[in-house]
Amino acid sequence: MTTLLHIDASPRGDRSVSRKLSKSFVEHWLTHEPGATIISRDVGRAPPPLITEAWVAAAFTAPGDRTAEQNDELRLSDELIDELERANVIVIGAPMHNYGMSAALKSWFDKVIRIDKTFSFDLARGDFPLEPILRGKTLVVLSSRGEFGFGPGGVRESMNHLETHIFTCAHYLGVQESHLIAVDYQEFNDERYRRSVADAFAAIPVLVRQCLGIDGPVDVAAE
Ligand SMILES: Cc1cc2nc3c(=O)[nH]c(=O)nc-3n(C[C@H](O)[C@H](O)[C@H](O)COP(=O)(O)O)c2cc1C
């Protein structure tokens, strides 16, 4: 039985496009697998606090040597990592903010990518000393962008630091399979936007079936 970690990162509520996409993905999943467990983590409405010097010091202190204050510092991080460890599939509703992920989502990544929890560090590995500890997870990013042309060969490809950043970091979450569906043109609110929304919502049930292994791999990239 699948456990989905459903993260929403938009500060917007009902007007958020990425929230609608991630909600649709989870709902389609439940139609196929009603017994799936859903863990909801709304970092858009309740952003994890930014890391501080005290937090970094606590994270880099061996568990047995930590003070009570340091254990308190890491409590939210422990909770977020526990949610991540339980999940097989991570679904992120990710708005594009200033050509990358929202600050709230970055703060979540900073709290879950933690030494000896989600990655190990060993200089004996040479120039690539970090290795993920977790394995076998699937990541689905449902994104919305005001402009357009962020996909391969697009006019703004080089300005896209959203999924490139998320997919790079996702390696340290134990992600071994990643997918993206994105809506473009949100700020234009024209026919191109409406087509992009329709394409994205049409791609969602196809991707759900693919992730569940009902259908083989198909090209669902709604870029
Ligand atoms: C603070 C902020 C920064 C944004 N930066 C960008 C950007 O760099 N590129 C872009 O295409 N759209 C940008 N947008 C537009 C959003 O990507 C767009 O509104 C999208 O629908 C947001 O997702 P949401 O509807 O889930 O909130 C920005 C919006 C906000 C509020």
Please tell me what DSSP assigns to residue 220: -
Percent of the chain with pLDDT over 90: 96
Q: Domain residues of the chain, as ranges? A: 3-211
Sheet of 37-42: strand order equals: 37-42, 3-8, 89-95, 137-144, 175-183
28 Cβ inside 6 Å of ligand 1 = no
pLDDT lower than 70: segments of the chain: 217-223
pLDDT, tens only, 136-156? 999 999 999 999 999 999 999
pLDDT for 220: 61
Asked if 108 contacts 10 with a C-beta cutoff of 8 angstroms, the reply is no
Work out the number of other CB atoms within 10 angstroms of the CB of residue 117: 19
Q: Which of 113, 96, 65 is CA-nearest to residue 162?
A: 96
16 Cβ inside 6 Å of ligand 1 = yes
Give the pTM: 0.96
- Mutation test of ligand 1: which of 45, 145, 147, 150 has the most ligand atoms closer than 8 Å to its C-beta? 145
144 Cβ inside 6 Å of ligand 1 = yes
Q: What is the CATH number of domain 3-211?
A: 3.40.50.360
- Mutation test of ligand 1: which of 25, 91, 96 has the most ligand atoms closer than 8 Å to its C-beta? 96
Residue 95 alpha carbon, nearest atom of ligand 1: 23
20 Cβ inside 6 Å of ligand 1 = no
Rounded Cα gap, residues 135 and 176, in angstroms? 7
Per residue, what are the HEC states of 45-109?
Answer: CCCCCCCCHHHHHHHCCCHHHCCHHHHHHCHHHHHHHHHHHHCCEEEEEEECECCECCHHHHHHH
pLDDT for 215: 82
pLDDT for 222: 61
Rounded Cα gap, residues 91 and 208, in angstroms? 11
pLDDT, tens only, 201-219? 999 999 999 999 998 766 6
Asked if 134 contacts 43 with a C-beta cutoff of 8 angstroms, the reply is no
pLDDT for 221: 53
145 Cβ inside 6 Å of ligand 1 = yes
